[in-house]
Each structure stands twice: as C-alpha cells, then as structure tokens.
Amino acid sequence: DAKTTQPPSMDCAEGRAANLPCNHSTISGNEYVYWYRQIHSQGPQYIIHGLKNNETNEMASLIITEDRKSSTLILPHATLRDTAVYYCIVRVGAGNMLTFGGGTRLMVKP
C-alpha cells in the first residue's frame, strides 16, 4: 500500500485559500488519492478523490502532479468551520480498508 506523508499542522487565515500538501511517492497506477477530514472528534467526512486529473467539487479542489507522487488539497476560501484534521489516503477504492495516518491539523484563524 502506498504510504502518505503530510505536515502535522498548518495555519490559515479566514477567507484565504488553504493548501494542504500530501506526498505519496510509492502510489500505484490504479490507486486513487482520497481526502477526508475530521472535525473535532466527529466521524471522518469524505471531501474529494482523484486518479490523475485535477478535480473540483463544492467543497474543495484536488491538484495531482503529473507524476502522481504528490497532491494538494485546496480549500478556496477557508472558514472557521474548516478547522479540522485532514487525512490524505491512497487506495484502489473506498471499499478497500482506509488507513488513516496522522493527517494535517488545519487551524483557520480569524
């Protein structure tokens, strides 16, 4: 299984874009990059996923490098409610068991 590396913590000013990096240099060709977040001990929440192309939904954008060895989750206009731990996970599919590492603790400040 591809391992991921994320910074343990990041700060972001409210209203600014939050860019959360993830390294996954051993990713296989059929593995997707998933992002989940966990707000204050609630159950994790799916945000977005991608294989090769950049993806955008109502919550965030996902930028995957051409060699697929790293990616960035972008929250375009961070709010205080986006304060959470963000997990980058690499898997063939969500039916496959998810492995949650330490994640990045994002603190959005006023």
Partner 1 sequence: NAGVTQTPKFRILKIGQSMTLQCTQDMNHNYMYWYRQDPGMGLKLIYYSVGAGITDKGEVPNGYNVSRSTTEDFPLRLELAAPSQTSVYFCASTRAWRDHEQYFGPGTRLTVT
Residues lying near partner 1 in the complex (CB under 8 A) are found at 32, 34, 36, 41-46, 49, 87, 93-103
In what side-by-side order are the strands of the sheet with 84-91?
A: 9-13, 104-109, 84-91, 32-38, 45-50
CB of 8 to partner 1, least distance (A): 11
CB of 101 to partner 1, least distance (A): 5
Residue 81 φ/ψ, nearest 5 degrees: -70, -10
Q: By C-beta, is 15 or 101 nearer to partner 1? A: 101
Q: By C-beta, is 49 or 69 nearer to partner 1? A: 49
